[in-house]
Amino acid sequence: MRKLRALMMRLCGLLSFRHGDDDFAVELESHVAMHTEDGIRSGLSPQEARRQALIRLGGAEQTRQAYRERLGLPCLENLRLDARYALRQLRNSPGYSITAVLTLGLAIGANTAIFSLVHAILLRQLPFSDPSRVMTVENGMDAGLGFNMNSKSVTASFNDAAGFFKTIENATMYSSIGANVELGEGSARRLKAAETGARFLDVLGVTPRLGRGFAPDEDVPGKDRIALISDRLWRSGFHADPAALGKTIRANGVYLVIVGVLPPQMDFPANVDVWTPTVFDQHTSMREAGAYISTVLVRARANNSAAAVRAELNARAANSRGQGTAHASEPAPDARPIVTPIAAELTKSIRASLLMLSLAVLFLLAIACSNVAGLALARTAARRREFAVRTALGATRRRIIAQQLVESLFVAMAGGASGVLFANGALRLLYLFRPAALDAFQRPAINASVLVFTASMAVVTGVAFGMAPAWLAGDADPGDALRAGTNRSSIRGARLRKILVSGEMGIAFVLLVGAGLLLRTMANMDKVHLGYDTKGILSFSVALHGEPYISKEGGNPAISAFCKGVLDQLDRIPGVTAVGAVSSAPLDTRADMLLPVMAADGAQRSAGGAPRVASNGYFGLMGIPVIEGRGFSSQDNRTSPRVVIVTKDLADKLWPGQSPIGRPIHCFWYCDGSPTVIGVVSPNRRSGPRYGGISEFYFPAMQQDWTYFTFLLRTNGDPAKLASSARRAVAAVNPSQPVYDLETMRDRLNNNESLLRFELFALSVFAVLSVLLVLIGLYGVVSYTVTQRTREIGIRIALGARREAVLISLLRESAFITLVGEALGFAASLVAMRLLATALFGVTPHDPETLIGVGVLFLLVAMAATYLPARRAASIDPMQALRIE
């Protein structure tokens, strides 16, 4: 307590320092005066009395010093002086200060930008209560977390999870789907909806901000026509009016009563606006994605990790398999229950990229640090006289090191501050190449936690690059330094700088190899033949809902009439050369379902394929070649015989070595009347260049009641310019049907590879920056060497050395530094590139061409950076060189 009070007083003393000091001067003077008077009284001469008084005091100046140290805090006082001195020194060498601050600013800025992404995405606090207990379960069927693919009917143990499982408190499921939502009278809007189990909110631990959640039995048909809406929809659609509760909305043709509004931070599943315990379309063919893909979500009991839940589910799954069959076989690893914490599940698509980029920016920072350390070392060598003089005047080694570190910290803090500015720009730049995986997350801001990160990074940086120069500064030997010429510590500094540059090269080499591998991946992907065109094509989707479009026995002509109407309207747009429609176009990211297809001509073969519905003209428009038979025509309608077109691979599986034309097939749902094959098309890579195609079989749009269409139009000009015309075309047929996913096929392809593009862009920028920094570092080292050796080189030239020999010796030294760096980088690349393995395509992580290419490139630019200062050295005039000192 008393200690604390004293500390506070001393801190105050620091502020009113001069005042306290002056006060004491008066007190001391009166002390000496009184002592002197006493001395005179005892018979001493005035001079002698004063001398005695001062002796007994132990020296006036020493006493004042002791008093001063007690008055303030000496360490802080030193810090203040060091800070002032450092600022003066930095002002005196603006070249060094600006270079160092900018270098560090770039690197810290890159780190700040990436960290703000990491903070917003990987470290995000999910808006659930106790989010670590929420997990997704895949393959839970055998373990008792079973559900029907087409509905939300679940096993008894699923509904009574708390009574059945030891580690699970509650279980639910959900599926997200696009929905045409009508809030009242008027046109529908296209939103995302989630079909959930009734316990959805209980599992997540989310409470509505208004109204109520779902009761446990409200996912039973008859009670399930209710909905929760997002805060966003509540504001945009109901003007945040509490009277929204109890209102009826219509989603995908189903009437739902709003019972609650969820809090604004609740954004799960991402971008969903309507949560309902109902299922919109139980029939597969009526669903947008063609399949009901649902996710099982559980809340673990307190203190149960994902591993504990996994262990219980595995044990139960093994048990139930054992009971079912006589010879329970061990399931394949991917058929076992998979339990993933929700935070990991939500970030799985972007996690690896962010970690890779974090590593890349740390590399960049290491390069920047050692570069600035190199500059600081040169400065230390240049300032050795200053340190020698200070040492000679009594400065301790510790004080000199501390003072140098303060200087480094100043530079680093300034770098950190400029880094925050850079980071803002860098984030903007990164978001130009934002991958689709980031769409589920808001664009991060530079917030307080990020600033704390940046500040601590700046401090660490300051100490990291300031350490070696400070140490060498403290080493200054007064006698040695005051003499002219090179000295021990500057030679050590120069050697250290070369080692630093080698290390930098190693790191930059790794970054460059990474960027090179991604570049090759991109090139490889561009070379892949997709099997369809992406140029000049605009696509958009429409989902038909509502009474006029309800599927009927024997067909509903309104559905095909809508499709035909829109196609006719699109065809009339000027500049459009072809139009078409399909149930699911290439590069559609929604899930696909494979159905068994059987040869119905007694061949007894079957194979899996995805069913599609396409208009006539679709294959021609997409550039999918019909390799046998014919494509659809307008004659393929309700009154004509049922027909089907298959992909080549499907035909080969069903009728190997034979022509499939004219042969009938069987399948579920679509194959009434056993359609006959009229054509064969080439398979295509519908999911992008990385993946092979899947088997498909196509029915003519006019023979099926399919209500989800992707319309396509082709033009010779810029397809993006036709967007508003396309909207008008749909409105002309039926203005109440919302158009969604309006984009060019090119954009879809770019989206498909957006993560790679993002990684390639970011890594390339970091790699180029790092190479620039390394070159600056190398240039600095060589220039410094030349300056140091001017005299020596002059003497050598005077003695008859050839100028080329001087040039070559310097180039050789640089080459050596570079080759050492490359060797380090090569070894590091072999390890680090494994991180990239999953992102690569058509190239191995240690692709020799990339490694050699980067190696040669590095050597060339290193030689170029050396050449300039080296030529200066070779052209030294011996007379002038010798006159320098």
Partner 1 sequence: MGGKTDVWQGTLALMTLKTLETMGPQHGYGLARRIELTSGDQLQLNYGTLYPALLKLEQEGYIRSRWGTSENNRKAKFYELTKAGERQVKKAAAEWEQTTEILARFLTPVEEA
Name the residues that contact partner 1, by CB under 8 A.
2-3, 5-6, 9-10, 13, 23-24, 26-28, 30-31, 33-35, 37-38, 56-59, 62-63, 66-67, 69-71
Say if residues 446 and 423 touch (Cβ distance below 8 Å): yes
Say if residues 154 and 200 touch (Cβ distance below 8 Å): no
Peptide bond into 557 cis (omega under 30): no
Helices 754-788, 848-874: crossing angle, 10 deg rounding:
30
Of 57 and 768, nearer to partner 1 (C-beta) is: 57
Of 34 and 720, nearer to partner 1 (C-beta) is: 34
Closest by CA to 382, choosing from 443, 472, 454, 265, is 472
Of 33 and 270, nearer to partner 1 (C-beta) is: 33
CB of 48 to partner 1, least distance (A): 17
CB of 18 to partner 1, least distance (A): 16
CB of 2 to partner 1, least distance (A): 5
Closest by CA to 739, choosing from 749, 729, 752, is 729
Burial of 402 (0-12, 13-18, 19+ CB in 10 A): middle
Give residue 573's identity as a one-letter amino acid code: I
CB of 1 to partner 1, least distance (A): 9
Closest by CA to 582, choosing from 714, 716, 708, is 708
Of 25 and 864, nearer to partner 1 (C-beta) is: 25
Listed as own residue / partner, the contacts of 24-32 with beta carbons closer than 8 Å and 24 or more positions apart are: 24/64, 24/67, 24/68, 24/71, 25/64, 28/57, 28/60, 28/63, 28/64, 31/57, 32/57, 32/60
CB of 393 to partner 1, least distance (A): 24
Of 68 and 727, nearer to partner 1 (C-beta) is: 68
Cα separation, 443 vs 49, whole angstroms: 80
Closest by CA to 535, choosing from 715, 396, 406, is 715
Of 56 and 495, nearer to partner 1 (C-beta) is: 56
CB of 3 to partner 1, least distance (A): 8
CB of 32 to partner 1, least distance (A): 9
CB of 15 to partner 1, least distance (A): 14
Say if residues 275 and 213 touch (Cβ distance below 8 Å): no
Burial of 652 (0-12, 13-18, 19+ CB in 10 A): middle
- Hey, what are 150's tokens? 């087409």
Closest by CA to 502, choosing from 183, 198, 821, is 821
Of 32 and 436, nearer to partner 1 (C-beta) is: 32
Give residue 722's identity as a one-letter amino acid code: L
CB of 395 to partner 1, least distance (A): 24
Of 27 and 718, nearer to partner 1 (C-beta) is: 27
Query: Across the chain, which distance is largest between two alpha carbons, in Å?
Result: 141
CB of 6 to partner 1, least distance (A): 4
Burial of 318 (0-12, 13-18, 19+ CB in 10 A): middle
Of 71 and 876, nearer to partner 1 (C-beta) is: 71
Cα separation, 229 vs 183, whole angstroms: 11
3-state secondary structure of 218: coil
CB of 26 to partner 1, least distance (A): 7
Of 58 and 557, nearer to partner 1 (C-beta) is: 58
3-state secondary structure of 71: helix
Of 56 and 535, nearer to partner 1 (C-beta) is: 56
Of 54 and 830, nearer to partner 1 (C-beta) is: 54
CB of 16 to partner 1, least distance (A): 13
CB of 12 to partner 1, least distance (A): 9
Torsion sign (Cα): 529, 531, 533, 538: negative
Of 21 and 741, nearer to partner 1 (C-beta) is: 21
Cα separation, 237 vs 695, whole angstroms: 43
Of 63 and 139, nearer to partner 1 (C-beta) is: 63
Cα separation, 865 vs 779, whole angstroms: 5
- Hey, what are 512's tokens? 């460059």
Say if residues 873 and 806 touch (Cβ distance below 8 Å): yes
The full 3-state SS of 687-716, as one line of letters, equals CCCCCCCCCEEEEEHHHCCCCEEEEEEEEC
CB of 47 to partner 1, least distance (A): 19
